[in-house]
A and B are shown apart, each in its own frame.
Chain A
Amino acid sequence: MKSLIIDQLKQKLGNRATDSQFESSLYSRDLAPVPNLLVNPLFNTAADLVVRPIDTAEVAEILKISWDNDIPVTPRAGASTVYFDSVPIKGGIVMDLNLLKGIVALDESGMMVTVKAGTTWSELEKYLNGKGFALRSFPSSAPVASIGGWFCMMGYGIGSIKYGSLLSQVKAIELVLPNGEVKQLTSDSDIPLDYLAGSEGTLGVVTQLQVHVRKLTSMKHYLLKVKEPDLSRVVNHIQGERMVPYNIHFSDQKYNAVMNKLGFVADEFTGSCTVAVDYEGSEDDLKAADAVISEMMSGDFEVELAEEKDANQEWKEKFLALRLKRGGPSQLGGEVWLPINNLNHYLDTIKEMDKKYTLGLVSYGHVATAEHAVVMTAFFADERKTIDYVLKLSMVKKIQDIGHRYGGKPYGIGLWNTPYIGYIFDNSQLAELRARKKELDPKGIMNPGKVYRPPLLLNSFNFKVAMNILAAVSRAVGRGNRRV
C-alpha cells in the first residue's frame, strides 16, 4: 500500500521526486558528525521518496496524501542544522522546500516583507538592501539557512540582541497542517503563530512568512582584546548600555590560539579573548556607540581596542565559522544557551574539564538577548579513527552538563538533544508542547521522533549511563591528544 502511494506520488511529481539511492542518501544526513555505525542500527534515515514541491498547493497535496496513508514527512530546507532536525528517522517522505523561493511583496511603508519559506536569509538581505531596507536579524548560516527553517528553529542570531527573536519579528505565516489544510496564522489566530516557532517541522509546513524589516543604515564595527577574567563583565557592560549593539560575538583565548595556528588570526590576538561589537543606526547612533566604546576603554576593564580594519574584517568573516574545522578534520562540540552572567564560570569549568580530558576545548559564541548568549564549545576529532571518535562523542554530554550547571540548556533539539529534554523544558512546558503536537498532528506523521521525547534507546537514563561509561573509558585511555 505504502509503496503504491509512493509510486503514485513519484509519477505525479515527475523530475521533482526521486527514490534513487544515490540521491536520497544525501537527505539522510545534516551537519551532525555521527558515524553510520551509531545511526544505522537505531534509525531508518533512508527516505522512501524525496519530493520538491513547487508551491503551497503542492505541499498541501503531498501532506494530504501522506496523512491519509500514515506516511511520515520530514521537512527540509537548508539542512544547516546539526541534530538531525531535518533528517528522517522513520523513513517516509523528505520534503525539500527549496523551490518555495522568492519575494512575494514588500510593504515599504509598513516595513514588512512577505517571503516564501525556502528563500535564504542572504537572498532576502540582498533583495532588501537593493530597496534601502535590511533584515532585523539573521542566523550566521544566512547563505544557506531558509526563512522558514530559522523560524522553525529557535530564531536567535546576529541582530537578535537589538531586535529580539525572529518570532517577535514575524507578523503572519502561511502554514500547511499535517492533514493538508492551509491556514493563515497570526498571533491572534485559532492556532497562534508562536506554536510554530521552534516546532522543528513537527507541526506542519510553513510556506510563507511576513517579516518586519528595518531601514538600511550604516554600521560601525569594533574588535576588543579582553583578558579572560573580564570577558563576562565586558560583554555584560556593552550589551547593557543605552546604545544597544546589533551584534556581540566573542571568542575565548584558546579559540584565538587555534585559529592563529590555522593562519586565520594574527599573533596579536593570541594572548586574549576577543569581543567583536557591531552597531547599526543613524549617524548620531554611531556617535553614541563610539562614546560607549571610548568610555569603556577609559574604565577599569582589562581591554584593548584593535584596529578598525581588523574589526571590519571580523564582520566580513561572520559566516566563516567552519574554518575552525580545518584543525580537525572532524569537529565535535556542544552549543549552550547560557546566562551571560555565568559565562566566566562556564568557561572556567570548561577549562577544568579540558585539564582532565585534554581535548583542546575552544569556545566562542554570540549574545542572543540581554540575559543569554549562545556558546559553542568545540574540540577536534578524527572520524576515521572510529573507536577514538565514539569515545570522544561522550564529551559532548560533559559540555552540556557544565552548561546545565550554570543555568544553560542545549540550543535546538532535533533528535540528538532529545535526551536533554529535561534541561530544556520544565514539565508544564513539555506538557503544553505535547498537547499542541496532539492537537495539530494527532497521527504523528510530521518529523516523527524529534523534539518531544527521546526515542527509547536515547532516553535520558540509557543515554547518561552510556555516555558516562564512554567518558570514563576516554579518560582512562587518555584519548585527548590535541592536534593543533
Chain B
Amino acid sequence: MSEDKSLFTTLEEEALICGRCGSCRSDCPVYNVIGWESSAPRGKISKAKDIFSKGKQVEISDEFIERIAQCTLCGACSSVCSAGIDTRNLWLAIRKRIADEGRAPEAYKKLRDTLLQNRNISSFSNDDRLEWAEDLDDEPEGLELKAGAEVCYFVGCVSSFYPQAAQVPITIVEILMKADVDFTTMGGEEWCCGYPLLSAGFVDDRKPFIEHNVAKIKELDIHTLIASCATCYHFWKHDCSPELEGYDLEILHATEYLARLIEEGRIELNELDEVVTYHDPCDLGRNSGVYDAPRSIINSIPGVQFIEMGHSRADSLCCGGGGNLQSVDPDLAAKISDLRVKEIKETGASIIVSACQQCEQMLSAGVRNAGLPIRVMDISELILEAMD
C-alpha cells in the first residue's frame, strides 16, 4: 500500500517522530561494532532531538559530533525504520548543522580544502585524471572529451588517482573497446561528483562541482553516462536532478550497462570454473535499488557457481568504507569490514565480487588480514577474465 519515496521533512520534525523503538539497531554496522546505545541510530536521534527539536538549539557536544561521524551512511537504518524516517537524509542534515557551526571533524575540513583546491579527493592535480590509462595496451581514440560519444564513462576520484583501484577503469575501458562501444571520458574536466562534500556536511560547496560536471556533459552532447563507482552513480542519479532538468541523460551504473551489453550479445563470455559470491555496495543496492544487474552478469558466465551471502540485496551488510568514516575512524571501518569478511568466508567462495572500488579496497584489506585464499574483484574484472 505504500511507496518507497523519502518522507523526510526537517531534522527537528524527524527527530521528534522517532519513537525510539530500536528497529534500526540490529542492522546498524556501527552499533554492531561499538555496542553502546549512543552509537545506534535511535541513540543518535534521541540526542539530536534533545539538541535541535526542543525550541532553542542547545550546545552540540563533542561526543555527539564523534558519534555522528561514526556512520557509513549505508542506509540500513532507513530501510528498517518503523516510523518511515529517511535516516540517511537525517544524518546528512545533522552533519550539515555541525559543519555550519564550524565544528566538522578536522579530517572533513581537510578533505574540503583538498576538494576546493584540486577538484578531486587526492593530492594530485586534476589534470592527471587519466594517468591510469597509461597502463592500457592500446589507448582508444576519443578516450578524452569526445563530443557526441554514445557513452561517457565517469571514472570517479578513487579509481582515477589511487593505484589500488586503477584496475577498475582499465578493465572497464578494455571491455568497452572489445564490445566496440563508442565511448569517452571527461578526462581532466571530470571533477569530483560532490558526494564527499555532501556527506561531510558542506552541502553548498558541492554545487559548483555538480554544475561543472553537468555543464561538461551537456557541452559534449552526452546522453548516456556510466559510473563504476556506486557512490558517484548514486549521487548523479539522486543529487543532480535540478541541474539536469530538461536534459535527456540516462545514468547507469557500469553493471547495468555491462549487463545490457551481455544481453545484446556484444560481449561473449567463456566458461569459468569458480565459486563466486557478490557484495552489494550500499549506494548501488539498498540506496539505489540495483540488485539484479550484477547478479545477472555473474549468472551469465558459464561454469560459475553463484552463492549469496547470509545478508544480501536490501539486507546486505556494509563494507565499512562509506560516509567518509575511514577519514575519521579507520579502525571502526576495518572492524565493520571484518563482519562482512566473516560472511564471505562462510560462503566458501573462491572469488568475492563487488561493484564499487571502495568496497573492494575495504574487503581486500579484510580478506588479507583474515588470511583467506579468496580473490576480491570488481565485477568488470570477472567479466574480462571470462572474455579472455
Interface residues of A (CB under 8 A from B): 16, 18, 20, 22-23, 26-27, 29-31, 52, 78-80, 96, 98-99, 120, 122-123, 126, 130, 141, 143-144, 263-266, 269, 310, 313-314, 317, 319-323, 325-326, 328-331, 383-384
Contact = CB atoms under 8 A, between A and B. Distances in A.
A126 to B, nearest CB: 8
B43 A319 contact: no
7 contacts: A26-B37, A26-B46, A143-B23, A322-B21, A323-B82, A328-B16, A384-B16
Given A16-B35, A263-B3, A265-B1, 20 more contacts: A20-B63, A31-B20, A78-B22, A98-B35, A123-B26, A143-B26, A264-B1, A264-B84, A317-B1, A317-B2, A319-B80, A320-B83, A322-B19, A322-B84, A323-B82, A323-B83, A325-B83, A326-B83, A330-B16, A383-B16
B95 interface: no
Given A141-B21, A141-B23, A319 B16 contact: no
Contacts of A78: 22, 25
Closest 4 A/B residue pairs (Cβ): A329-B16, A144-B22, A322-B83, A26-B37
Contacts of B16: 328-330, 383-384
A264 B2 contact: yes
A98 B28 CA distance: 14
Interface in B301-331: 310
Contacts of A269: 1
B347 interface: no
Given A26-B37, A98-B35, A328 B22 contact: no
A16 B34 CA distance: 10
Interface stretch (B53-61, B116-124, B265-273, B371-379): B53-61
A263 B6 CA distance: 12
A317 B1 CA distance: 9
Interface string B231-269: 000000000000000000000000000000000000000
Contacts of B35: 16, 52, 98-99
A80 B21 contact: yes
Secondary structure of the B side of the interface? loop
Contacts of B61: 22
A121 to B, nearest CB: 10
Residue with the greatest number of chain A CB neighbours at <10 A, chosen from B27, B43, B53, B83: B83
A319 B82 contact: yes
Contact of A266 (B1, B23, B84): B1
Nearest to A382: B16
B37 A27 contact: yes
Contacts of A323: 2, 82-84
A221 to B, nearest CB: 13
Contacts of A331: 19
B46 A319 contact: no
A52 B262 CA distance: 52
Interface of B: 1-3, 7, 13, 16-17, 19-23, 25-27, 35-38, 43, 46-47, 53-55, 61, 63-64, 80, 82-84, 310
Contacts of B27: 143
Given A22-B63, A122-B26, A329 B13 contact: yes
Contacts of A266: 1
Contacts of B21: 31, 80, 141, 144, 322
Given A29-B46, A144-B23, A329-B16, A314 B84 contact: no
Residue with the greatest number of chain A CB neighbours at <10 A, chosen from B1, B16, B82: B1
B84 A320 contact: yes
A74 to B, nearest CB: 14
Contacts of A320: 82-84
Contacts of B7: 263, 326
B1 A143 contact: no
B370 to A, nearest CB: 20
Contact of B2 (A123, A130, A144, A263): A263
B19 A31 contact: yes
A419 B53 CA distance: 31
Contact of A328 (B17, B37, B46, B310): B17
A23 B36 contact: yes
Contacts of A26: 37-38, 43, 46-47
Contacts of A321: 82
Contacts of B37: 23, 26-27, 96
B38 A79 contact: no
Contact of B36 (A18, A122, A264, A322): A18
Contact of B25 (A130, A144, A264, A313): A144
A143 B81 CA distance: 10
Contacts of A325: 17, 19, 83
A381 to B, nearest CB: 11
A122 B315 CA distance: 12
Given A22-B61, A122-B26, A30 B20 contact: yes
A30 to B, nearest CB: 7
B311 to A, nearest CB: 9
A12 to B, nearest CB: 17
A328 B19 CA distance: 11
Contact of B17 (A265, A310, A314, A329): A329
A77 to B, nearest CB: 10
Nearest to A26: B37
